[in-house]
Structure 1
Amino acid sequence: MSRIHPTAVIAPGAQLDSSVEVGPFTVIGPDVRIDAGTRIGPHVVIEGHTTIGRDNQIFQFGSIGAAPQDKKYADEPTRLEIGDRNSIREFVTFNRGTVQDGGVTRIGNDNWIMAYVHVAHDCQLGNDIILANNATLAGHVHLGDHVFLGGFTTVHQFCRIGAHAMTAFTAAVSQDVPPFVTAAGNRAVPAGINSEGLKRRGFSSEQIMEIKRAYKVIYRSSLPLDQARQELERMEQQSATAAAHLRTLREFVSDSPRGIIR
């Protein structure tokens, strides 16, 4: 118990590993579970049916697991699930899910969440994501692995952003952003591929070149989208090194209920 500051309020029923650190004036509700090595700063509120994994760091003034900002919410026992090794900075807000979706908001592993980020109800975040200051996700947004959202990015509800995609500062995303693509502007439009990010993650020059060719098929060839998908499939079959990445791109474009940014 020496790791829990005496001014913290831990409700009966909360399950905290003995190695969890809790700072001054933090409040933790009865349905919260926190695993080993996680550090909670001062003045944090963690409530609802919230599960937090191992070795996370949550900085001061966060609101974690509050009720969803949805008028249909009727106090159902929905959940927030946070994985391992996430850095969650000051004034971040994560809301629980709703029964209109899967009932859970989910944050993966190894994510870097900067100050004032808002993740609304039913969002699904993968791994190794960076959300810069004031990025805002509306309800039901899905982010793939290695996504980077620039500061003050806003994402409309039900949008999906594919793996390795990136948004520029103040981008306003109202349709799906395909994997590997950079989006910029209000409303966000495609602005090339995230070449530098792919290099940093070990993509070969040939793989990046093939992804860039695929981008040109979708956005620069003037082909109707159905024909562009057919061309992507042909490229996938002919590629020795980038077939899996081209398949990821083609499948995302083919299964986009909101449509992709154009």
Structure 2
Amino acid sequence: MSKAIHPTAIIEAGAEIGAGCEIGPFCHVGPKVRLGPGVVLKSHVVVTGLTEIGEGTIVFPFAVLGEVPQDLKFAGEETRLVIGARNRIREHVTMHTGTAGGGGVTRVGEGGLFMAGAHVAHDAEVGDRVVFANSVAIAGHCRIGDDVIIGGLSGVHQWVRIGRGAIIGAVTMVTKDVLPYGLVQAPRGELEGLNLVGLKRAGVARDEIAALRAAYETLKTGEGTFHERAAALAAGATSPLVREVAAFIQDESDRSFLTPG
């Protein structure tokens, strides 16, 4: 398939444009950018820096991808932004490259929806099939698992991890790690249970959901510290989802956890 590039778009020498790409009016593509096959830049999109965008991703007007990070320690080193395939990146979304101190790469997975005004900061790792609603902002070094949904106007603190399948309500500030499949809401982020709707929509078996609910109660009311309860779950769990939750708690982190209330 041929490329469709509007005459007002600026494609700098060195940029790699995949087959079937569409680049609309007044877009600017920098010299170190790589666009995979079938990428669409609607209009007025800026893609700069050492940035790679995967096949079939659609970027809407006024998004800015690959600019330098908003980090005072950044000293101009060459860092990267890697965006996977089949994402929908809506108006005014910003995604920045990494920093030398954070590993040098910001990574975004496949099949995500990033609604208007969302922000992905330096060195973040974002999984597949996520939904960031309008004006969601995740700070530097965050790790967001697959199938996470974050409600509009929510913010995620630096270094926070959000486990797979979790859901964050709108207008929520998340300052601590969120368990896989957790349900978090309230202005300062409180773990209020499991994302049961998401589990059912994903086709998770009833016995697996029951095992997760039992594990949640153990974490909430069991003996010992929170980490001791997680270790006990890991030792005795037969459910792969429960083992996933226990492993997430036992994994290395710079933040504490939102614990069951």
Residues 2 and 174 of structure 1: CA distance in aligned 2, closer, same or farther (over 3 Å)? closer
TM-score (norm: length of structure 1): 0.95
Match for residue 184 of structure 2? 183
Letter in 2 for 1:170: V
Give the drift of 1:227: 3.1
Note if contact 2:39-2:58 (Cα within 8 Å) is conserved in structure 1.
yes
Q: Percent identity?
A: 39
Q: Deviations over 1:145-182 (max 9, x none)?
A: 11110111100000000000110111100010010101
Q: For structure 1, which segment, 193-202 or 250-259, has the greater mean C-alpha deviation from structure 2 after superposition?
A: 250-259
Q: For structure 1, which segment, 105-114 or 210-219, has the greater mean C-alpha deviation from structure 2 after superposition?
A: 210-219
Match for residue 91 of structure 2? 90
Match for residue 260 of structure 1? 257
Gaps of at least 5 residues in structure 2 are none
Match for residue 76 of structure 2? 75
Q: How does 1:39-118 map to 2 (within 5 A)?
A: 39-118=40-119
Note if contact 1:7-1:25 (Cα within 8 Å) is conserved in structure 2.
yes
Distance (Å, rounded) in 2 between the aligned partners of 1:54 and 1:213: 41
| SS of equivalent to 1:54 | coil
Distance (Å, rounded) in 2 between the aligned partners of 1:93 and 1:257: 25
Letter in 2 for 1:116: G
Distance (Å, rounded) in 1 between the aligned partners of 2:228 and 2:6: 62
Give the drift of 1:223: 4.4
Q: Deviations over 1:184-226 (max 9, x none)?
A: 1232110110011011111011111111111111124464213
Gaps of at least 5 residues in structure 1 are none
Note if contact 1:217-1:231 (Cα within 8 Å) is conserved in structure 2.
no
Match for residue 246 of structure 2? 250
Q: How does 1:211-250 map to 2 (within 5 A)?
A: 211-221=212-222, 223-236=224-237, 239=238, 243-250=239-246
Match for residue 17 of structure 1? 18
Give the 4+ runs in structure 1 shifted more than 2 A: 219-223
Give the drift of 1:235: 4.1
Note if contact 1:28-1:45 (Cα within 8 Å) is conserved in structure 2.
yes
Superposition RMSD on alpha carbons, in Å?
Answer: 1.3
Q: Deviations over 1:89-134 (max 9, x none)?
A: 1100000000001100000111111110000000001101111111
Note if contact 2:227-2:249 (Cα within 8 Å) is conserved in structure 1.
no
Letter in 2 for 1:76: E
Distance (Å, rounded) in 1 between the aligned partners of 2:198 and 2:3: 42
Q: Deviations over 1:30-73 (max 9, x none)?
A: 00000101111111100000011100000111000000001111
